[in-house]
Copies of this chain bind each other. A is one copy, B any other.
Amino acid sequence: MSLTIDPATLTASAAADAIAAGTLTAEALTQACLDRIAARDAEVSAWAFLDPDLALAQARAADRSAPRGPLHGVPVALKDIIETFDMPTQCNSPIHAGRRTYADSAVAALIRAAGGTILGKAVTTEFANRHPGATRNPLDPTRTPGGSSSGSAAAVADHQVPLALGTQTSGSMIRPAAFCGLWGYKPSFGEVSRVGVFQQSGSLDTVGLCARSLEDVQRLRAVLTRIPYDPVAPLERAPRLALCRTPEWSEASPAAQQALEEATRRCEAAGATVTYLTLPSPTFDGWLKVHQRIANFEGARNFGHERHGHRHLISKALGEGRIRDGETTPVAAYVDAQRRAEAMRLWADDTLAGFDAVLTLSAAGEAPVGLSGTGSATFNSLWTLLYTPCLTLPFGKGPAGMPLGLQLVSERHEDERLFAAAGWVAAVLAG
């Protein structure tokens, strides 16, 4: 008996295995993704640039080539702030409309070196900030997919591409992944190259990714960090977990709160130890302001070209909001914020060393209705500031039937510990 499966529905790992086994070609996989996009693009609008001929040409080249690595023949979408030599990078800003760059970003080059292809550029909010793009949540087109990695998450969730890269400065990867029912991953700060990625905040920006399985997350991470692809096995023992509701717990929806409590209860029932983690005062007092000060101070300077050459083309929200705020932040306030952030990180290093993972919320709830915003980053910015690796895995639904996410966090630079714990938790929650 034979089973007909649309290749576009395969995970990246399953597709790569099929290509390696000779049962699928890169061209057929790419064509299936393009067919899915053609059928769905009017509703989802996930793409800032897509050239089917260029995508297919890359796929055919992969089919002609000897195996190059763990993504051989697998298409990947790049958030449209990540440069490639063969496509424009437009940052969802008229300032960069049609802009083509000379070179691949480091991550694009690493994906190609591992045999992967670049399907196209996924919609971002303006400069990966807050002003939204046209992308809709594929699970409910009246709702935001989240942001700023909006198109990245929507395209992967809608089976238009198996993998996508985004970035996170506050909550721009974890939140859209959660809103779209995906696995999302923000690596430990500094481990993935940002060369050729539009920069908002050198102290906070992190390349992230979304996928439809934990295995795919690990496969793409190995490519981006250029280490052997060697997936981490789920923990065999029950993990030491910390439940962190954060001081912003009251901002979460009842459904999100319940999902986190339920996940914690199930992990405990399966043998995990759970410690209730609170952020100590005064170290964490005003942590959100600390994050904003760093992001805005740096952003106001990083947007030098745009501010001084094209200010009238910057959205009012960005130009009169974060940029203006950053312009008027004194250096002493920035330095104070940096020192406070470092003290928070030292606390996190010490404290998280005692746990396999922290359980916390990925977002305040379901993806909100409407496309004028992308949701709140309240439950993400803290961990971005702390430089910790973060994963969101889909767990539960809200009252509208939209997915919720559970966020797991480990000590910085312990990304493999995070994967092991997440594998255990996902198995318990699926069981």
Chain A residues within 8 Å of B, Cβ to Cβ: 85, 96, 99-110, 112-113, 190-196, 199, 202-203, 225-227, 298, 300-309, 327, 330-331, 334-335, 338-339, 346, 413
Contact = CB atoms under 8 A, between A and B. Distances in A.
B96 A307 contact: no
A85 B305 CA distance: 9
A110 B225 contact: no
A226 B305 contact: no
Contacts of A107: 304
A124 B338 CA distance: 31
A105 B195 contact: no
B304 A106 contact: yes
Given A106-B304, A193-B202, A193-B302, A327 B226 contact: yes
Given A106-B302, A109-B307, A227 B331 contact: yes
B338 A413 contact: yes
Given A99-B103, A106-B303, 4 more contacts: A104-B309, A106-B302, A190-B203, A339-B413
Contacts of A193: 199, 202, 298, 301-302, 304
A405 to B, nearest CB: 27
A308 B203 contact: no
A76 to B, nearest CB: 14
Contacts of A112: 308
Nearest to A346: B346
A202 B330 CA distance: 24
Contacts of A300: 226
A344 to B, nearest CB: 14
A195 B199 contact: yes
Contacts of A346: 346
A65 B307 CA distance: 19
A315 to B, nearest CB: 18
Contacts of A202: 190, 193-194, 202
The CB with the most chain B CB atoms within 10 A, among A103, A112, A302, A338, is that of A103
Contact of A102 (B99, B108, B301, B331): B99
Contacts of A190: 202-203, 298, 338
A112 B108 CA distance: 32
Contact of A308 (B113, B306, B308): B113
Contacts of A106: 301-305
A305 B196 contact: yes
B304 A413 contact: no
Contacts of A104: 304-305, 308-309
A160 to B, nearest CB: 25
Nearest to A335: B413
